[in-house]
Structure 1
């Protein structure tokens, strides 16, 4: 049935909003929906060509209904494709802005080849968006633009290191972040590492 696969893309887009990582790009579904749009467009053009440009909807309501349904299916499929890609784009931009490790966050879970869940076009988009963001942040090097907009309750917090992160330079000196160690640090110095999953804030 026309529109079924487009609806699946919309459902997948809704699911993406609530996920931490980006799921695999639905290449085959997108291709099939795109093919469906082309087939419907070809059918519409064939019907109109057969009328020699003198089609009157009132005199042929069956043909008019077919044209209307096909046109609405085309529009709906296009909107489903746009919604799916817009949701994925928003998710990728959010992950880049947060400083998420994109390579780890976009690996297909459970696949031996550890292939990326992004399409080649999405990978290029992420790369270019990252470059633009780096250039934008570079204008204000002393301000962390990716930090939380909520003011911290405490200036210093206790954190546990979940993954080795090496040495970081803080206002109060150098800290070596080795797995399972705990530190009492200034929240502003480690917000990015908490967001990336290297550190866990202890309450």
Structure 2
């Protein structure tokens, strides 16, 4: 039935909405939906060409047109959901972003988006644009080092990041280290 494949794309988009990783791009389904949409367009044109004043054929052409538009909306919704997820991951995980599940055009988008992001960050060096918009609850936090990273210079001193060592430091000093997964916050 027309629209079944587009429904699969929407179900995939809903399923992947709350996943941490971006799932594999559904190339086969996307191509099948595009092919179905072209077929519907041809059927609509054919029905309109032969309809004359026959209301049945005009109604059939209208149904074909509605099915086309629905397929297109489903394709756009699927791609928009992936795009928003790509932007979010690229913004927060710029260095460790896995792109193996992406289509070639999505990989190009991520690469170019990262270039723009780097340029914007360079313009505002003093401000951490990737930081959380929520104010911190505590000024100091306890962190545990996940791997050896050497000495880190902060505004209030130097500390040595050796694996499994713990520190009580200002949250602003280790925010970027938490994002890079060099340290983790110790739960109290």
Q: TM-score higher than 0.5 here?
A: yes
Residue in 1 that maps onto 2:154: 170
Equivalences, count: 186
User: Residue 167 and residue 22 in structure 1: after superposition, are their counterparts in 2 closer, same or farther (change >3 A)?
Assistant: farther
Is 2:149–2:182's contact at 8 Å kept on the other side of the alignment? yes
**1:80 lines up with 2:74 in the alignment:** yes
Give a deviation string over 1:18-53, Cα, whole Å, max 9, x none.
1111111111110000111011111112222335xx
Give unpaired runs (5+ residues) of structure 2: none
**How do 1:149-188 and structure 2 match up within 5 A?**
149-164=133-148, 168-188=152-172
**How do 1:114-193 and structure 2 match up within 5 A?**
116-164=100-148, 168-193=152-177
When normalised by structure 2's length, the TM-score is: 0.89
**How do 1:20-169 and structure 2 match up within 5 A?**
20-51=20-51, 55-56=52-53, 60-100=54-94, 101-103=96-98, 106=99, 116-164=100-148, 168-169=152-153
Is 1:25–1:119's contact at 8 Å kept on the other side of the alignment? yes
RMSD: 1.9
